[in-house]
Amino acid sequence: MNTRLARGVFWTLFAVCVVLRLPSLQQPAGADQALYGYVGQRILHGELPYRDAWDQKPPGIHATYAVLWALWPDERVVPAADLAVAAVTALLLLILGRRLGPPGAGEVAALVFLLLGDPSWGRLGGVRARGQCEVFIGLVSTAGFLLLHRALAIGTRRVQALGRLKIGTRGAPITARLAVSLHPRRTDGCDRAFRVGRSERTIAEHHALLV
């Protein structure tokens, strides 16, 4: 498939998956979301979770709902936040999949996440699962994996650069002798320079792996 056409199909399907979630903005909050929202409101009034308002969930979800309620004191802030977090998570999966997987892995991961994570699936069973802890944990976890991959990639490039620097400053005479000794009959300058350069690159790569 043409690359431009494939991108157009992907972004069209991405938009469709997001639009399918829009009706959830008018659905009332479930029992869990109401409890999180209540604890969040108590926090905004200077009270403390677990002392003035009890829930067994970790404090992060209560603090998140407090921030959401401060931004928009309306029940619709819960599905709106759920939709926004899902879209951002899907975009992060797109980037992560493109870096780690074969062509198309990121696109498939993003679309599958949006489709199977649609709250309407749970609503068919009588469950309103929007704005749960897992929604925000998924965002933070995906961002963490992306940052970890970026850090490892930067570290790998630094090690490789260090290996090439060491080879260039201290190993050039050795690599030159190796190249000439391996090919004693090829004495013209261009061929010898090519083989020396290739030998330096190979030894640098091996040295970087050892470092």
Count H helices and E strands in the chain, helices first: 9, 0
What mean pLDDT do residues 44-64 have?
A: 93
Check if the beta carbon of residue 14 is closer than 8 Å to that of residue 90: yes
Rounded Cα distance, 85 and 135, in Å: 7
Q: Looking at residue 181, what is its pLDDT?
A: 47
The residue type at 23: P
Rounded Cα distance, 141 and 148, in Å: 10
User: What does each C-alpha distance from 191 to 9, 41, 164, 185, 198 come to in angstroms?
Assistant: 49, 76, 22, 11, 11
Q: Looking at residue 192, what is its pLDDT?
A: 45
**How far is the first Cα of the chain from the last one, in angstroms, to the nearest whole number?**
42
Which tops the pLDDT comparison, 162 or 50? 50
Name the percent of the chain lying above pLDDT 90: 51
What mean pLDDT do residues 124-151 have?
A: 87
What mean pLDDT do residues 128-143 have?
A: 89
Q: Which candidate, 103, 102, 134, places its Cα nearest to that of 117?
A: 134
Q: Looking at residue 171, what is its pLDDT?
A: 47
- Entry pTM: 0.73
Domain parsing of the chain, residue ranges: 3-132, 153-210
pLDDT of residue 190 exceeding 80, the answer is no
User: What does each C-alpha distance from 84 to 21, 45, 80, 169 come to in angstroms?
Assistant: 10, 26, 6, 52
What mean pLDDT do residues 84-95 have?
A: 97
Q: Which candidate, 205, 110, 193, 115, places its Cα nearest to that of 163?
A: 205
Mind listing the pLDDT tens digit for each residue in 151-162? 988 878 777 676
pLDDT of residue 200 exceeding 60, the answer is no
Average pLDDT in the chain? 80
What mean pLDDT do residues 69-96 have?
A: 94
